[in-house]
Amino acid sequence: MSTQPKTFITPEEYLELERKAEYKSEYYNGEMFAMSGTSLKHNTIAMQLYGLVGQHLRGKKCRAYPSELRVLVAPSGLYTYPDLVVVCGAPQLTDAYNDTLVNPTLVAEILSPSTENYDRGNKAKLYREIPSLRELLLISQDCFDVELYQRRDDGSWSLFDAVGLDASVHLTSIDCTLRLAELYENVVADSAEAP
């Protein structure tokens, strides 16, 4: 039995391929990883999150962007598409294409069963290496559970876990209290309507 060697591609090659592709892929350590589709719950939570945060930021100096904006985790070289990115101040982009951000303030990931271990583990660790990042929000789609990592003044990270529809988390980087009942509102409604 033979195994084919993996083909190493450079970040520049990845970006050239990615900008022409019909589907999104992440890039890390010389490899491209196709992103799978998302579930109805995932999309419902993503839209609700974007709406709540986007509305809160109206008229402020921070902007929210949905999952179409690529982020370069500069210290590690990971290129990825978080479910939500918030930038406070001027966005810093890698090149003239204006499609790869390097200075997120807040990143949110909605955990999918197929990627949850990676998102909670190595990917979360890589995100926390971004110098500009103040908060990392991990949102479960299978239960009412949100984990919030916040960078302290000394550079260490603290973790807050909010569980249940009565819970909330305060996003200090954008001074926004996110109530789980609002975040999961349409998920609960969809579940109640299911046969």
Q: What is the pLDDT of residues 69-112, one digit of tens each?
A: 999 998 899 999 999 999 999 999 998 999 999 999 999 999 98
pLDDT top residue among 190 and 72:
72
* 9 contacts: CB under 8 Å, gap ≥ 6: 17, 27, 30, 31, 32
Please indicate, yes or no, if residue 160 is contained in any of the structural domains: yes
Looking at residue 5, its pLDDT comes to: 55
Q: Residue 94 and residue 12: Cα distance in Å, rounded?
A: 11
Single pTM value for the model: 0.91
162 within domain boundaries: yes
Instruction: Note whether residue 104 is domain-resident.
Output: yes
Q: What is the pLDDT of residue 7?
A: 79
**Contact status, residue 169 vs residue 162, Cβ threshold 8 Å:** yes
Q: Report the number of distinct structural domains present in the chain.
A: 1
Domain that holds residue 140: 38-193
User: What is the per-residue pLDDT for 192?
Assistant: 55
69 assigned to some structural domain: yes
CATH assignment of the domain containing 129: 3.90.1570.10
Cβ-contact 108, 84 below 8 angstroms: yes
